[in-house]
Structure 1
Amino acid sequence: MTINIDPVTGLQNASLAPAKTGGSQDLSSVDFMKLIIAQMRNQNPLDPQSDTDFMAQMAQFEALNQSKAAAQTLKVLQGLGELGNAAGLIGKTITGRQVSAIGITRDSVARERFGAVYSLLSTNQKAEVNLDDRVQAAIADAENAGTEVTGIVDRVLVGPDGVPVLSVNGKVIDQFTISEVR
């Protein structure tokens, strides 16, 4: 399991790519206009809302959309900075903590995506995959998650969550766990 710490907010598992929630929590401009129309239809005819109230609501909604876009842009810029920092470590010797294991095969002890573990297999799945003993080394490696690793950074991987991690001798190191760079 990869643990990501956002360097700006200090939040765990914060992603550098803009998150697409797309759920019912996001209010689109179409939804907002539907609410305004419903509000206009259902207002008290003896005490109607003024046009300035509606314009103020629309201005507030637009300001909210602009601040969301600015936050997403800042998140992307932060991600590019993290990627640049990680790329600058290629060829350097670092010491950091292993955050996940890279197995020997695609279906090893844990399933991989972009070289990083994203889900552990159940006991039955492990037995099925291990029928030909392909994953014995991967089992030992998965148990090493969290151990300190020293070595030369050979590449930078960008995981499915968009966070760059470092590869040192086949081990995945989160750049925020680095304790030494030589």
Structure 2
Amino acid sequence: MRELDDTDLDILRLLAADARRPYSEIADQVGVSPPTVSDRVDRLESLGVIERFTLDIDRSKLHDGVAVLVDVELRPGNVADVKRRLAEADPIEHVFATADAGVVVKATIRPDEVGALLADVVDTDRVRGYDVRLLADSEWSPEVDAAEFAPDCDECGTTVTTEGESVRIDDRVHHFCSSSCRHNFEERYRSMTESA
């Protein structure tokens, strides 16, 4: 696994500022060829550093309502399904799963309609309660700092170094500190999917 260098970080900064920027323009600014930019972007995607190219849409211009933060307290064992269902709901922009079995969403909706939205999207017996807070302001900062690419091994949790490996399994990139960790993970994953 190769570490990210200054060229990778410069490419990330330029894409974070404008994901529609042509590769030829990026190449001119970072001093490499357009095919090199394309190869590096492909590699950053395969490593999971770039997850998708997207838009930052101001939903208040598209929906009636205001920006709210909704903290949904769930019964145990429901986070993954509730998170997925809420992510598919139209007025919801961002969905976060919390470590304490909850889900927090940012949405553009009238505060008095949140209960109805939850009832339409989620089985109400999965929800213990929810809290709605009006947002005064929010900011999205996809800026790239001079950081080191140092994911944790998906098998043992140690930091993956340049000797590590990355593989895509079922549309998700997994990072491993060694081939033995990768092998152990793949064996356990294969066993779990066969028994499911």
Query: Which of structures 1 and 2 has the bigger CA Rg?
Result: 1
Q: Same fold per TM (> 0.5)? A: no
Query: The TM-score by the shorter chain falls in which range?
Result: under 0.3
Question: Which of 1 and 2 has higher RCO (CA within 8 Å, sep 6+)?
Answer: 1
